[in-house]
Structure 1
Amino acid sequence: MSTLGDAWDYLTTATSWVGANGMFGENFDGSLRFQRDSILALILEHLQMSAAAVGIAAALALPLGLWLGHLRKGGGATTVIANVSRAMPTLALLTLFAASSIGFGNRAVIIAAAIFAFPPILTNTYTGMAGVDADVREAAFGQGMTKLQVALRVELPLAVPLIAAGLRTSVTQTVATVPLAALVGGGGLGVIIVTALATQRYGQALAGALIVATLALSVDWLLGRLQRRVTPAPLRDRARVAA
């Protein structure tokens, strides 16, 4: 049978989606385990790891970007930090973390993916805050607002579209990168691809790649809709006119 036929068979078999023994099992310590032969379980684990990585990155990048952007300082440092983080090869980081005391598995993946997710959030948050028109800031100060009020009530709402775009980019890139987890004993959809390649089931590997691509595109589409909803209406109207 052809590779495409094998991929179709794998995707249209119910057992591939729910697993031979269900989606979940238990580890020796009683904790929940995602079954490796269930596509749905691997999707949930994939999204869980992606959310954890982006959550860590956002917790660090958002406050830093908001603070530096409000002060209009540290633009050069922000660019350097973002570029250095981008330049780090994710697979190399995974290998280093797995070989360290962190160990193999999902923990190493989450940390490496968080480093990869950090730059878009930091850069867009800083640019959004620092890019607010100086006249708008001066008008707000002229009305008696404090620095904190200007940051939260004037600059932040205007920066939301760029911040949302950075989060969207970060999440989509992370979802597309997490499949590397399977190379260091982690879970997620990469398990399908790595296992299939190791056993020369290339149709299954193709199916796994299609699932990853579909998931990444779906997440990007959903976040695009959310980005539009959180963008203030006047800014949406201005973008529509400019287009």
Structure 2
Amino acid sequence: MSWLTSFLGWLGEFFGDPANWSGPGGIPARLTEHLEFSALALALAVLVAVPVGLAIGHTGRGQLVVVVAANLARALPTLGVLVLFVLLLGTSSIWPVIIPLVLLAVPPILVNTYEGIRGVEPELRDAAYGMGLRGGQVLGQVLVPVALPLILLGLRLSAIQVVATTTVAAYTGLGGLGRYVIDGFATKDYSSVVGGSVLIVAFALVVQAAFTLVQRVTVSPGVSRRLKVRQPPARKENSR
């Protein structure tokens, strides 16, 4: 249990130090920086990925983009891309950090948006067209509401990845919660490492909970019931 005692001791030391709650290096300031980096990267990813995913899913053209994005999500070394952009752009702005985060966030949003739109039953599409709706109206009034759970899932996955990966902003000298971890390792201040890590995990959990709440509020109850009905029943083993 010595590791647990040490962990709790470092945690109490970090959060109990008044110096960690004020000034530009305090928890509120670092948390705000982390939130700003994450929100900017996610917003840019949404602006890129959602329209493209809607267009490809609705028209069926450009599916290769989705395949490439899915493979990119598996293969992209975020830290390597970060170092590359730091070498190319320097450290005088936030863009060497934001660009890799956007590249990380785009694939889950794009793939889930595409899959959500393409997964809508053809009968719903036919019924919408039969009612006299045009292409854009079918997309906005029928397909998007039905696909919203998958779209929100993509946003949630991207948001959690971005929040966790924004920690690498500290490598470029920028702020965020990653400063506690990076600086703590550099100075062997393990209370800072533990406290910063706990804050990052807690932030990611809050983001997870926030998106779950958004889904409950925005997704139509009818769509939620439809998803439950479509889930296959659990297999039962035959008793012998």
Both proteins in one fold, TM over 0.5: yes
Shift of residue 12, structure 1, vs aligned partner: 1.9
Write out per-residue CA displacement over residues 105-164 of structure 1, whole angstroms, 9 at most, x where no aligned residue: 532111110100001100011111111111111111111111111111111111111111
- Partners of 2:174 and 2:101 lie apart in 1 by 12
Is the contact between residue 89 and residue 96 of structure 2 (CA under 8 Å) also seen in structure 1?
A: no
Question: What residue number does 2:220 align with?
Answer: 232
Q: Go from structure 1 to structure 2 and tell me whether the alpha carbon gap of 1:239 and 1:131 turns closer, same or farther (over 3 Å shift).
A: closer
- Partners of 1:63 and 1:153 lie apart in 2 by 15
- Partners of 2:183 and 2:125 lie apart in 1 by 56
TM-score of the pair, normalised by structure 2: 0.89
Question: What residue number does 2:236 align with?
Answer: none
Q: Does 1:93 align with 2:97?
A: no
Question: What residue number does 2:184 align with?
Answer: 196
Equivalent residue in structure 2 for 1:5, among 4, 9, 21: 9
Deviates more, 1:186-195 or 1:84-93: 84-93
Shift of residue 240, structure 1, vs aligned partner: 4.9
Question: What residue number does 1:183 align with?
Answer: 171
Write out per-residue CA displacement over residues 26-48 of structure 1, whole angstroms, 9 at most, x where no aligned residue: xxxxxxxxx1x211100000010
Q: Does 1:171 align with 2:175?
A: no
Equivalent residue in structure 1 for 2:67, among 79, 84, 102: 79
Give the letter for the 1:221 counterpart: A
Give the letter for the 1:119 counterpart: P
Equivalent residue in structure 1 for 2:104, among 97, 116, 133: 116
Q: Does 1:106 align with 2:89?
A: no
Q: Secondary structure at the match of 2:125?
A: helix
Q: Secondary structure at the match of 2:89?
A: coil
Instruction: Report percent identity of matched pairs.
Output: 37
Is the contact between residue 104 and residue 185 of structure 1 (CA under 8 Å) also seen in structure 2?
A: no
Q: Go from structure 1 to structure 2 and tell me whether the alpha carbon gap of 1:60 and 1:102 turns closer, same or farther (over 3 Å shift).
A: farther
**Contiguous gaps of at least 5 residues in structure 2:** 234-240
Root mean square deviation, CA, Å: 1.8
Runs of 4+ with deviation above 3 angstroms: 1-4, 102-105, 238-243
- Partners of 1:150 and 1:6 lie apart in 2 by 56
- Partners of 2:144 and 2:7 lie apart in 1 by 50
**Contiguous gaps of at least 5 residues in structure 1:** 23-34
- Partners of 1:2 and 1:138 lie apart in 2 by 63
